[in-house]
């Protein structure tokens, strides 16, 4: 993936200040793309972009909360005014829910999680697709999850949002299949990122260790292993692939 396969192309990654998003933004840059790193953590996004620029790559950092429509619209406008186009987008920003069984979960937490993990992805797609439709090309990858494919006790809000992302992916894939825009999703399994650290800190370490034992490859994944699949889904190597969700989970889902 180190070839300049994305020369003269522009990539957007949301949630790019940390974890999977950061690794993917760095991979896009190394593969020759100009990269917009967007995150609600504007400082983190700008610092990560600056580090790429210092390394000789093309990047900008943008503060954007994907739960806010105007911010998402402004983010895409900034990318187009800076780089002139938008060819690829990884809609990756996401948050965990507060663990609670359905009878106890709060409407505030439902709204917080879905406004980022589901409506946030929809909002990003909406404005990305307006630009891609105008250009007549594009590739979008949405970040779902293993949680987009199976249920999870005390995780109903997260899992339902991640299932919803697959519905958005398939629907948009159908709309744009004949217009040179492909839309796919990745379903990461257990990937070690600051989100996993957070889960350990909130007392879910044992659950994570138990889950690792159930992974056929007997290890958690690295953010770079998601980045590789996202880049493939954005490249011409996957030119006949649309509307798919690719599990990147060490074999977890096939059991």
Q: Which of 27, 172, 173, 190 binds ligand NAD (CB under 6 A)?
A: 190
User: What phi and psi, each to the nearest 5 degrees, are found at residue 34?
Assistant: -85, 135
Q: Return the residues of window 205-244 that contact ligand NAD according to CB under 6 A.
A: none
Tokens of 67: 């739960």
Q: Which stretch binds ligand NAD (CB under 6 A): 28-36, 123-131, 183-191, 228-236?
A: 183-191
Phi-psi region of 228 (alpha: psi -120 to 50; beta: other; left: phi over 0): alpha
Residue 57 annotated among the catalytic residues of the structure: no
Q: Return the residues of window 122-151 that contact ligand NAD according to CB under 6 A.
A: 143, 145-146
Q: 4 or 198, CB closer to ligand NAD? A: 198
Q: For the window 157-176, what string marks contact with ligand NAD as x by the rule CB under 6 A?
A: --------------------
Q: 41 or 78, CB closer to ligand NAD? A: 41
Q: What is residue 139's three-state secondary structure?
A: strand
Q: Return the residues of window 26-65 that contact ligand NAD according to CB under 6 A.
A: 39-41, 64-65
Angle at the Cα of 68 from the Cα atoms of 191 and 151, rounded to 5 degrees = 40
Residues 89 and 12 sit within 8 Å (Cβ to Cβ): yes
Q: For the window 105-124, what string marks contact with ligand NAD as x by the rule CB under 6 A?
A: -----------x---x----
Q: Which of 37, 75, 95, 141 binds ligand NAD (CB under 6 A)?
A: 95
Q: Which of 166, 191, 246, 248 binds ligand NAD (CB under 6 A)?
A: 191
DSSP state, residue 10: E
Minimum separation from the CB atom of position 35 to ligand NAD (A): 15
DSSP state, residue 201: I
Q: Which of 6, 11, 12, 15 binds ligand NAD (CB under 6 A)?
A: 15
Residues 191 and 222 sit within 8 Å (Cβ to Cβ): yes
Residues 144 and 165 sit within 8 Å (Cβ to Cβ): yes
- CB-neighbour burial class of residue 212 (10 A; exposed 0-12, middle 13-18, buried 19+): middle
Q: Binding of ligand NAD at residue 93 (CB under 6 A)? A: yes
Q: What is the dihedral of CA 117, 123, 238, 192, to 10 degrees?
A: -30
Q: Taking the chain, what is the end-to-end CA distance rounded to the nearest angstrom?
A: 30
User: What phi and psi, each to the nearest 5 degrees, are found at residue 223?
Assistant: -50, -35
Minimum separation from the CB atom of position 161 to ligand NAD (A): 9
Q: 7 or 111, CB closer to ligand NAD? A: 111
Tokens of 213: 């034992």
Q: Which active-site residues does the annotation give?
A: 158
Positions that interact with ligand NAD (CB under 6 A): 14-15, 17-21, 39-41, 64-67, 92-95, 116, 120, 143, 145-146, 188, 190-191, 193-196
């Amino acid at each position: 993936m180190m070839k300049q396969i994305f020369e003269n192309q522009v990539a957007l990654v949301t949630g790019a200040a940390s974890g999977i998003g950061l690794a993917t933004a760095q991979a896009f840059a190394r593969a020759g793309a100009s990269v917009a790193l967007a995150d609600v953590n504007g400082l983190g996004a700008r610092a990560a972009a600056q580090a790429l620029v210092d390394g000789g790559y093309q990047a900008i950092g943008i503060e954007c909360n994907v739960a806010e429509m105007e911010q998402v619209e402004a983010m895409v406008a900034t990318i187009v005014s800076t780089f002139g186009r938008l060819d690829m987008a990884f809609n990756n920003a996401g948050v965990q829910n507060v663990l609670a069984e359905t009878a106890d979960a709060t409407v505030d937490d439902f709204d917080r999680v879905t406004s980022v993990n589901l409506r946030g992805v929809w909002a990003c797609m909406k404005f990305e697709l307006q630009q891609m439709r105008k250009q007549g090309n594009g590739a979008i990858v949405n970040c779902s999850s293993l949680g987009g494919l199976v249920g999870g006790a005390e995780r109903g809000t997260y899992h339902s949002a991640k299932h919803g992302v697959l519905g958005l992916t398939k629907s948009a894939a159908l709309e744009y299949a004949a217009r040179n825009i492909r839309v796919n999703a990745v379903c990461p399994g257990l990937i070690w990122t600051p989100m996993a650290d957070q889960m350990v800190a909130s007392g879910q370490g044992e659950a994570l260790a138990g889950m690792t034992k159930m992974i056929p490859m007997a290890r958690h994944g690295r953010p770079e292993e998601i980045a590789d699949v996202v880049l493939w889904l954005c490249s011409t190597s996957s030119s006949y692939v649309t509307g798919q969700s690719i599990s990147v989970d060490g074999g977890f889902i096939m059991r």
